[in-house]
Amino acid sequence: MEIVDGLGNENALQRLYNDLIECDHRNYGKQVCIFKGIKLRREEVEELIDRIPHLLKGSYMARTVFPEALINKYGIEVHELTKEYYEERNKK
């Protein structure tokens, strides 16, 4: 899958990354924590912090780890890496 900033929503991944870094998720143990009004497991937050820098460099992921609520809130797009997707992307 390719995870990119949504159309017209420049720097969505960078903003999400900055927000995750700034949130205090370390004090929750394995409990569910609130991130910008969204419940996330601490492990999810830490995994996102680890992965977003790779995405910002243009790396791809085998599967998405992004919770649906974050995808919607930040306007991030997730694309299956299909032949049709590559053809459409290359037209742009």
Kindly report, residue by residue over 19-70, the tens digit of the pLDDT. Answer: 888 877 665 666 777 888 888 888 888 888 888 888 888 766 666 678 888 8
Residue 92's pLDDT is 67
Please determine, for residue 1, whether its predicted confidence score (pLDDT) is greater than 60.
no
What is the reported pLDDT for 39? 84
Domain that holds residue 71: 2-91
Q: How many Å apart are CA 6 and CA 22, to the nearest integer?
A: 22
Q: How many domains does the chain have?
A: 1
The 10 Å Cβ neighbour count of residue 66 is: 23
Question: Is residue 76 pLDDT above 60, yes or no?
Answer: yes
What is the average per-residue pLDDT within 62-81?
Answer: 79
Beta strands 32-35 and 2-5 are: unpaired
What integer pLDDT is reported at residue 6 of this predicted model? 67
